[in-house]
Structures are given as structure tokens and as C-alpha cells.
Amino acid sequence: MAAQTETVRVTKPAPARATDTDQRHHRGKARWFVLAAAIVVAVLMMVPFVIMVLNAFKSPQDYSQNGPLSWPSTFYTDGLTAFWDRVNFPEKLMNSIWISATVAVFGTLLSLFSAYAIGVGRVKGRMWLVTLFLLANMLPQEVLVYPLFQMANKVGLNNNQWSVIIIFTVIQSAFGTYLLASVLGTFPKALLEAAALDGAGRWRTLWGVVFPVVRPTLSVLVIFFFIWTWNEFFIPLVMLTTNATQTIPVALASLQGDRMMDAPTTNAGALVSMIPAIIFFLLFQRTLTRGVTAGAVK
């Protein structure tokens, strides 16, 4: 990153030519216009968040009297506590963290094993395998959900978080294998040969040579699997049928249409539910951006 911006800075200011002055003068005004337009878009994106925060701390009376755009007349937190207690928020938070973290670890591990066999081991039929994994990641979950629901019931995993964990470990690792296999396909041969000369077997080569090199990619996968699983809605909605097992998104959505949910409580609920995602975003912003683009460039 740093090296890149450096080169841009070095090459950029060089061609300053006299004939350009008129044009540049004109551009000086245009750039402010462009900045204003970009800020308008940013404001449009932020408005929902801002009015949500504004209304999370209003009393229902305040809201119905002064509308959604006024500053709260008092700092009202009953909406917040009402939501917190009604959904037992700490419990839902723990459920979400437990499911997402377990999937992130297991999914990454599974991706690493499969990708090691495909990318480094070059097993036969690997092209087909990668295509199969990629297609599996694209399947609509509706095509799997009823059989999985039946299977979970049969093995006694109904309303059990392990059913969700197992399903998403496999679905996420399908993408992880696809991504990681192409990374490991270009793994430096010299390193592998050196390990073989040292007498390292496949297991030791994986952990001693391959793992340290691909650790940055693996950490991107961990973070991605965590946040994707955190945001998942459909399968947890079907599989986790009681309050005690549900994740934050499912709990929040199932409160909808509840007559007791006045506007401030709704907003307080949405606010509390997005805070973990926002914290995560701030912590891993750079990794996330890197991950999004890693997935794109292959």
C-alpha cells in the first residue's frame, strides 16, 4: 500500500506545463463541485443512521409530538432498556458470537485442508472440484433448507446451534477453498522442494511451510466468514426456532410487527443490533477492503 502511494506521488506532479494553466483554473472550480456532489451522496447514505440515533433516545410522546427530525427533548433510555430486556440482548449477542466464531475457525481450517490438496497436491480432477465448490457457493439456500431441516430433526439437532454451525462451515469453506486453491496453485516450488529435502512430510510441510506463508489470506478468510455468518438470516431463521438459540438478526426481525414496539424502541433495537457490526468494521476496515478485492482479483 505505502509503496504504491509513494510511486503515485513521485510520478504525479512532474508534468506541469504552461499551456495547462487555463484548463487547470477551470478544473479548480470543478473539483469543488465534484466534492460537493460526493458529499451529498455520502449524506444520503448516512441519513438513515443519523435519524435512527436521533430517535433511539426519544420518548414515544416526544416522537409523536415533535417528529423524527427534532433533537430529543430529554435523554430517554427506556426504549433502549425495553429492547435490551425484551430480546435478552446479551444472550443473542453470545449466540451470534459463538456461531460466527466457530464457523470462522472451522470453515478456514476446512478450506485450508481442501485447498492444500487441490493447490499444492494437484489432485486429479481438481478443476471439477473447484467448479463444484464455486457452484455450491452460488446455490440458493432454499434448495437445501428443507432437507437440512429434516436431517437436523432426525439426528436430534433441531433448534440446535450446531446445525447452523455445520451448515455454514461447509458453505463458507466452499468459497474459501475456491479462493485459497488459486492462491496455493502458485505457491513457490522452491519452498516445497526445500521442505522435502529436509525430510518433512505433507503434514509438517502444511504447518511449517505453507501455513506461515498464507497466514494473511487465512486471516482475511476468518474475518470474512465471521461477518458473513453474523449477517446470515435465512437458515438461522428456519433452524433456530426458540428465543434461547436465536442470533441477533433473527431476534430483531421476529420482533417486527410486535405492537409493543414503538418507534423509539425500534430504533434503539436497530442501534444496539448494528453496534457489534460497526465495531467490527472499524477494527478490520483495512482487512475487509483487502478481502473484498482479494475475492475479486482471484
Partner 1 sequence: MSTTVAERRTPRGRRSRQWLGYLPYLLPGLVAFTVVILIPFGMNVYYSLHKWKGGNAPMRWYGFGNYADLLHDEKFLTSFQNSIWMIVAMVVVPTLLGLILAAVLFDVLGKRFGPRTASVLRATYYLPQILPVAVAGVLWNWILNAQTGAINEVLRSLGVENPPNWLGDTTTALPTVMLVLIWIQIGYPVVIFMSALQRVDPELYEAAELDGAGWVHRFRAITIPQIKPETFVITLTCTVAALKVFGPIYVLTRGGPESSTLVPSYYSYLNFFDKSKVGYGAAIANVLTLLIILVAVAIMVLQARSARREEEGH
Within positions 158 to 187, which residues make up the interface with partner 1, using CB under 8 A? 166-167, 169-171, 173-174, 177
Question: What's the burial of 133, exposed, middle or buried (CB within 10 Å: 0-12/13-18/19+)?
Answer: buried
292 interacts with partner 1 by CB under 8 A? yes
CB of 31 to partner 1, least distance (A): 5
210-229 positions binding partner 1, by CB under 8 A: 227
Number of residues that bind partner 1 (CB under 8 A): 100
CB of 165 to partner 1, least distance (A): 11
CB of 74 to partner 1, least distance (A): 19
In the complex with partner 1, the residue whose CB is nearer, 48 or 188, is 48
The Cα 160–Cα 117 span in angstroms is: 32
Give me the helices (H) in 87-201, please.
Answer: 89-115, 126-138, 142-154, 161-184, 189-197
CB hemisphere CA count around 57 (13 angstroms): 10
In the complex with partner 1, the residue whose CB is nearer, 102 or 266, is 266
Applying CB under 8 A, among 165, 214, 222, 269 the residue interacting with partner 1 is 269
Q: Answer for the pair 137, 170: CB distance below 8 angstroms, yes or no.
A: no
Applying CB under 8 A, among 87, 222, 238, 239 the residue interacting with partner 1 is 238
In the complex with partner 1, the residue whose CB is nearer, 78 or 258, is 258
121 interacts with partner 1 by CB under 8 A? yes
130-149 positions binding partner 1, by CB under 8 A: 132-133, 135-136, 138-148
297 interacts with partner 1 by CB under 8 A? yes
Applying CB under 8 A, among 38, 94, 194, 244 the residue interacting with partner 1 is 38
CB of 15 to partner 1, least distance (A): 6
Q: Enter the DSSP assignment of 207.
A: I
Q: Answer for the pair 92, 251: CB distance below 8 angstroms, yes or no.
A: yes
Q: Answer for the pair 101, 226: CB distance below 8 angstroms, yes or no.
A: yes
37 interacts with partner 1 by CB under 8 A? yes
CB of 144 to partner 1, least distance (A): 4
Residue 200 grid cell: 518433512
Question: What's the burial of 230, exposed, middle or buried (CB within 10 Å: 0-12/13-18/19+)?
Answer: buried
44-83 positions binding partner 1, by CB under 8 A: 45-46, 48-49, 51-52, 55, 63-64, 67-69
Applying CB under 8 A, among 230, 239, 246, 268 the residue interacting with partner 1 is 230
CB of 77 to partner 1, least distance (A): 18
In the complex with partner 1, the residue whose CB is nearer, 13 or 212, is 13
The Cα 105–Cα 91 span in angstroms is: 21
Q: What angle do CA 121, 127, 128 make, to 5 degrees?
A: 115
267 interacts with partner 1 by CB under 8 A? yes
DSSP string covering 225-270: HHHHHHH--HHHHHH--SGGG--HHHHHHHTTT-TT--HHHHHHHH
248 interacts with partner 1 by CB under 8 A? yes
81-100 positions binding partner 1, by CB under 8 A: none
Helix (H) or strand (E) holding 279: helix 263-297
